[in-house]
Structure 1
Amino acid sequence: MSNSSSISHFLLLPLADTRQLQLLHFCLFLGISLAALLGNGLIISAVACGHLLHTPMFFFLLNLALTDLGSILTSVPKAMHNSLWDTRIISYTGCAAQVFLIFFFLGAVLALLTIMCYDRYVSICKPLHYGTLLGSRACAHMAAAAWASAFLTALMHTANTFSLPLCHGNVLGQFFCEIPQILKLSCSKSYLRNLGFLQLVPV
């Protein structure tokens, strides 16, 4: 495979070698993901329906629950599918979408947690100005900025990663698609520089 245009799919790292363990992983993923989906769904429903919970802290908690739901639905269903049907294949397009969504939701989580820290700081240190600094419009603007910045960051990293030529096969050393593993397949040694940049992103 000389470049990325000749790669139609990637091979993910298998979760287990035996069929029994694969089915066990499927059941574990199913149970844990359903519990997480139920928990986040309850948070979203409670905040959306409970008028007493219409405060900045719970508004951002609702957004955080949405990112958690998105993160689960991005990677877990494919892992469950692979375990159930004993396959390792993920399409090139599917891998790109998974990388984008993982980076998108991770970026949104980091931005929202930063905003929630600011919310707690204002409520403790500037309680008299809390209503002014964190009104409904300000909260909406901050949440929109968090989602928008996460989208742009994910788009930039995904486009940069999948624009590189790949010439070291299509086997990924991970259970899901992630940028460091894809960069290892790149023909260019610039992937080391990209890896260093990725380490700085969360900071």
Structure 2
Amino acid sequence: MEDIKERGNQTVVTEFIFLGFSNHPKLQGLFFLIILVVYLLALLGNLLILIAIRINPVLHTPMYYFLSNLSFLDICYTSTTVPNMLANFFREKKTISYEGCLSQLFFLVTFAGSECVLLAAMAYDRFIAICHPLRYPILMSNRVCAYLATGSWMCGLVNSLAHTGLIAALTLCGPNQISHFLCDIPLLLKLSCSDTSVNEVALYVSSAIIGLCPCLFTAVSYMLIISAILKIQSAQGRQKAFSTCASHLTVVVIYYGTGNFNYDRPSSGYSLDVDILVSVLFCIVTPMLNPIIYSLRNKDVKVALKKLCDSSVQISS
């Protein structure tokens, strides 16, 4: 299939060529092995979290309900880009079709946006648990949790539909090369030969609504949480209160830290290698770290995972 076709007086892209990892052809095998291992660890870790929460009644609480949503999101998020990336290591021409690129973009933006809002919902849950513990059963009822989780998914979905529709309306001209290993909005805007002003405005608006607002909400929530914890008289009480928030706070810092560095740094002055490394950290390594952080810092999760492993050993023996 030809990757560029003539339409009137314009050349229209029908296929894209990824240039990611092309700077080091002799290291393709090593890159493949590292990314495969990290991807499998991300899948396994998040899947274990999902199963442990599902089968352990002790973990049937709002905090772990949101954590199960986060784990499912991370599985979907990494699976949107990594399988195609791994397959491309064995291809001389690392390509993706126009339709495949739009599909990848749609799911990538959906899951990334949903995770931003979900992390804010998890911060709200911790805020209510620490600052309003007596009202927690009412303010974080099953219905409220379902609304918050559904709202997170809907925000990501609506945002993604808008961006994907706007990208699909553009005329993308040659060259058809993407200096990355995935399809993302800024990368595709660079290939457009039509007006992208609407796309850029939509990108700024969604960055504020889906990215900045949840980040600020989370930051304010933790300021109030820390203030409430410091007012607790006993050191043991302060430590117990903070331990319930430490895992989520660590995940938030890593997610927004790598995300901001990935999208908000200057476009000039960075090599392709740096771009690829930052995106790998954001798209693959962070979803792998999330279950590790929760399993290491959370006693209930560690106990549930231990029971799960013990039962698996008994079944196999």
Give the TM-score of the pair, scaled to structure 1.
0.92
1:6 counterpart = 2:15: no
Runs of 5+ in structure 2 lacking a partner?
213-317
Aligned residue in 2 for 1:98: 104
| Cα distance in 1 for residues equivalent to 2:161 and 2:41 | 30
Counterpart of 1:202 in 2: which secondary structure?
A: helix
**Percentage of matched positions with identical amino acids:** 36
Counterpart of 2:177 in 1: which secondary structure?
A: coil
Whether the aligned pair in 2 keeps the contact of 1:11 and 1:170 (CA below 8 Å) is yes
Aligned residue in 2 for 1:202: 211
Deviation at 1:17, TM superposition (A): 4.5
| Cα distance in 1 for residues equivalent to 2:156 and 2:206 | 14
Residue 5 to residue 134, structure 1, CA distance change in 2 (3 Å): farther
Which deviates further from its counterpart, 57-66 or 79-88? 79-88
Counterpart of 2:89 in 1: which secondary structure?
A: helix
Residue 116 to residue 18, structure 1, CA distance change in 2 (3 Å): closer
Match of 1:133 among 125, 128, 139: 139
Deviation at 1:63, TM superposition (A): 0.2
1:5-32 deviation per Cα after TM superposition (whole angstroms, max 9, x unaligned): 9322111113135554111111111111
**What is the aligned residue count?**
203
Looking at both structures, which has the greater relative contact order when contacts are Cα pairs under 8 Å and sequence separation is at least 6? 1
Give the TM-score of the pair, scaled to structure 2.
0.60
Amino acid at match of 2:66: F
Whether the aligned pair in 1 keeps the contact of 2:12 and 2:174 (CA below 8 Å) is no
Report matched runs for 1:31-50 at 5 Å.
Answer: 31-50=37-56
Whether the aligned pair in 2 keeps the contact of 1:26 and 1:84 (CA below 8 Å) is no
1:170 counterpart = 2:176: yes
| Cα distance in 2 for residues equivalent to 1:18 and 1:123 | 50
Which one has a bigger Cα radius of gyration? 2
Large movers: runs of 4+ above 2 Å: 1-7, 16-20, 84-87, 188-201
| Cα distance in 1 for residues equivalent to 2:94 and 2:135 | 54
Whether the aligned pair in 1 keeps the contact of 2:11 and 2:174 (CA below 8 Å) is no
Aligned residue in 2 for 1:186: 192
Which deviates further from its counterpart, 104-113 or 84-93? 84-93
| Cα distance in 1 for residues equivalent to 2:174 and 2:142 | 51
Runs of 5+ in structure 1 lacking a partner?
none
| Cα distance in 2 for residues equivalent to 1:148 and 1:8 | 30
Report matched runs for 1:17-32 at 5 Å.
Answer: 17=23, 19-32=25-38
Report matched runs for 1:140-179 at 5 Å.
Answer: 140-179=146-185
Deviation at 1:195, TM superposition (A): 5.0
Amino acid at match of 1:57: M
